[in-house]
Amino acid sequence: MRVFFGMRDIDILEPRSVEEAVAALAQHGDEAKVIAGGTALVLMLKNQLVSPAYLISLGRVPGLDGVTYGAGVGLRLGALASIRQAETSAVVRQHCPTLAETFGKVANVRVRHAATVGGNVSEADYASDPPCVLVALRARAVALSPRGRREIPLTEFFRDFYETALAADELLTEIVVPEQPAGARQSYLKFVTRSSEDRPCIGACAWIDLDEAGVCRELRVTLGAVAGKPQEFAEAEALAAGQRLGPDLIGQVAQYYAEHIDPLSDARGSAWYRRRMAAVFVRRAIEQALGAGGEV
Ligand SMILES: Cc1cc2nc3c(=O)[nH]c(=O)nc-3n(C[C@H](O)[C@H](O)[C@H](O)COP(=O)(O)OP(=O)(O)OC[C@H]3O[C@@H](n4cnc5c(N)ncnc54)[C@H](O)[C@@H]3O)c2cc1C
């Protein structure tokens, strides 16, 4: 099918299998864009931010919309699972309630029904919610190309504004969230400055693994929407290892993040404001995670 859109003719290809989708991507490479839910891509086309000769629609590709849990593997979120599906999935709610809640914080229910997990991650918008949490959970992206399958840790997947580690001929097929340690608990706070359905001004995820005595084995803190990709500072996280997370230590970690981010300014907040809010939301995210039960 050929359509006229965004000032040019675009051929729409409709592969019927993952193999056909990978082959189409390999054939048309830089000239093509994959389209899943279309909630982000159609806006980009309309505004002529992208101008592909081909759109490879995943709408008729079966088998990529599962949301499952396997012991020893963890959660597997198919790239074509809708965000609403991930939000309401019984296994996501059971094994990682914070992740289910985070999917529930994306946009509004109409967008969540159309938008896909794979589209959200591949878009790599700096102000998306799920990437921040998926990075803290040490999730992996699975990519397919004619060269085969490869797994990319999400800590390495997001490169910069709208830029990922996916090659032009790679299709994202699923996100794998590994099983979390028994003592791990998480929180995600989304701070919006405009409408409640807006993207975040700041997103803060805290991931804490505590031992039986309540001592911190490991702390991870990721901040979204402040720079081109989720921000994490190992030096600040290391302060917490082997310690009890009291107010002074939490304040120190929060202050480190506020001082070391290089925040952007946009319509949701200035760099000055984001730096101050970073200190507040890192502290609150850690406090909330400490108050949460362990998630298995
Ligand atoms: C009104 C509105 C409000 C929003 N608010 C939020 C918010 O609060 N928080 C938030 O996190 N997000 C928000 N979003 C963004 C939304 O989550 C994304 O638009 C959506 O997740 C993209 O998914 P999609 O399936 O529609 O992707 P598409 O629009 O189809 O594609 C997006 C990009 O990903 C690529 N792509 C898609 N699937 C694959 C794949 N399997 N392999 C390789 N590349 C692929 C496409 O080529 C394109 O570049 C909002 C969007 C809208 C329209």
* pLDDT value of residue 294: 42
Say how many domains are in the chain: 3
Residue 227: domain span = 184-291
Q: Does 80 share its domain with 44?
A: no
- The Cα–Cα gap between 42 and 195 comes to 22
Q: Are 266 and 202 in contact (CB under 8 A)?
A: no
Per-residue DSSP letters for 227-246? SSS-B--HHHHHTTTTS---
Distance CA 271, CA 226 (A): 8
Q: Are residues 171 and 189 in the same domain?
A: no
Q: Same domain, yes or no, for 130 and 222?
A: no
**268 and 192 in a common domain:** yes
CA of 104 to the centre of ligand 1 (A): 15
Residue for token pair 């319509």: 267
Residue 2, pLDDT score: 86
Is 274 contained in some domain? yes
**Ligand 1 centroid – CA 118 distance (Å):** 8
Longest dimension (CA), the chain: 64
What is the pTM (predicted TM-score) of this model?
0.96
Q: Give the domain CATH number at 71.
A: 3.30.465.10
Residues 172 and 188 in one domain: no
Please give the pLDDT value at position 165: 98
Ligand 1: which residues within 6 Å by Cβ? 33-41, 79, 83, 106-107, 111, 115-116, 118-120, 122-123, 128-130, 166, 171-172, 199
Dist. CA 180 → ligand 1 center (Å): 26
Q: What pLDDT, on a 0 to 100 scale, did the predictor assign at position 186?
A: 97
Q: Which atom of ligand 1 is nearest to the CA of 41?
A: 29
Q: Are residues 48 and 71 in the same domain?
A: no
239 part of a folded domain: yes
Give the pLDDT of residue 7: 74
| Residue 296 domain-assigned (yes or no) | no
**Shared-domain flag, residues 251 and 173:** no
Cα–Cα distance measured from residue 223 to residue 244, given in angstroms and rounded to the nearest whole number: 22
Instruction: Mark whether 73 and 172 lie in a shared domain.
Output: yes
Position 30 scores a pLDDT of 85
| CATH number for position 238 | 3.30.390.50
pLDDT value at residue 248 = 97
Quote the ligand 1 centre to 168 CA distance (angstroms): 17
Q: Which amino acid is at 139?
A: A
How far apart (Å, rounded) are the C-alpha atoms in residues 183 and 195? 35
Does residue 86 form part of some domain? yes
Same domain assignment for residues 105 and 25:
no
CA–CA gap between residue 236 and residue 244 (Å, rounded): 15
> Which of 134-153 are b and which e, b meaning 16 or more Cβ less than 10 Å from the residue's Cβ?
bbbbbbbbbbbbeeeeeebe
Instruction: Walk along the chain (296 residues) in steps of 10 and give the mean pLDDT of each run.
Output: 82 97 93 97 93 96 98 97 98 98 98 98 98 98 97 98 96 98 96 95 98 96 98 98 97 98 98 98 98 52
Is position 62 within any domain? no
DSSP string, the chain: -EEEETTEEEEEE--SSHHHHHHHHHHHGGGEEEESS-TTHHHHHHTTS---SEEEE-TT-TT---EEEETTTEEEEETTSBHHHHHH-HHHHHH-HHHHHHHTTSS-HHHHHH-BHHHHHHH--TT-SHHHHHHHTT-EEEEEETTEEEEEEHHHHEEETTEES--TTPEEEEEEEPPPPTTEEEEEEEE-SS-TTSPPSEEEEEEEEE-TTS-EEEEEEEEESSSSS-B--HHHHHTTTTS---HHHHHHHHHHHHHH-----BTTB-HHHHHHHHHHHHHHHHHHHHHSPP--
Residues 108 and 210 in one domain: no
Last residue of a domain, one of 177, 202, 231: 177
* Same-domain status, 147 and 168: yes
37: domain CATH number is 3.30.43.10
**CA-closest residue to ligand 1 atom 28:** 38
Q: Are residues 151 and 188 in the same domain?
A: no
